[in-house]
Amino acid sequence: MISGFVLLVRALLVTLLLLAVAPKLPLGPAGRTRWRAFARSLRTVPGLGTRASAPVALAVTLAEVASCLLLLVAPLPGLALATLLLGTLTAGVLGIVATGSRVTCHCFGAGAEDIGAGTVLRNVLLTVLAGAALVTGPHAAAVAPAPAVLLVATGALAGIAVAFAAELRFLLVAPTV
C-alpha cells in the first residue's frame, strides 16, 4: 500500500534527483565538461581538497542514481537512501555555511549559485520530507488510482520548482536597484 503523501514525496524526489543527476552524467563532451565542473566545485569545500573531489563527486552521483532507481522500484529502501543522501548533503552544506566559505553549488547541472541559507533551507526541508515519508510509508492507507495520478504530477512539478527555484525567483521577483 502506498499513501498519497508517500507517492507525492517519491515523485518529487525522483524528479529532483533526475534533474540533479542527468547533467552530471559524463555522457558525451558536454556531459563530461559538466561532471568535471561539478568535481572541481567540490575542491572549494572546506576540508575536502583536490584529491577527494573526484571520488566524492562520483559517490554523490552514484548515490543520486541509486536513490532515484530505488524510489521507483523499492519505495522504502529508496526513501531510506534518499533521506541519508539528503541528510549528508545538508550536513556538508551546513559546514560550508558555518565556515563562511564561498562555494558554488552545481546541484542541478549548468545552473550554479553560491551555497547559502537558501540551500540549507531547501536541503533541510527535503530531508524532513523524505524522512517523514519513510516513517509514515508502512503505516499509511493506500490511495486510489485517479488521485494517485494527480499526486505524481504534483510531486513532479514540485521537484521541477525546487530544482529551478533560482530561475523562478529571477523571473518572479523584481530585481532591486
Contact present, 2 and 142 (Cβ < 8 Å): yes
Which residues of the chain are under the pLDDT cut of 50? none
Is residue 85 situated within a structural domain? Answer: yes
Element (H, E) at 171: helix 165-172
Is residue 51 situated within a structural domain? Answer: yes
Q: Which domain holds residue 45?
A: 4-172
pLDDT tens for each residue of 4-40:
899 999 999 999 999 988 888 878 888 888 888 888 8
Q: What is the pTM of this model?
A: 0.86
Evaluate the CA torsion angle 54, 59, 60, 61 in order and state its sign: positive
What pLDDT, on the 0 to 100 scale, is given for residue 18?
Answer: 92
- Tell me how many domains the chain contains: 1
User: Which residues partner with 55 through β-bridges?
Assistant: none
Is residue 78 situated within a structural domain? Answer: yes
94, with CB counted inside 10 A (0-12, 13-18, 19+), is middle
Instruction: Return all residues near 175 (Cβ < 8 A) that are at least 6 apart.
Output: none
Is residue 156 situated within a structural domain? Answer: yes
Is residue 177 situated within a structural domain? Answer: no
Contact present, 158 and 17 (Cβ < 8 Å): no
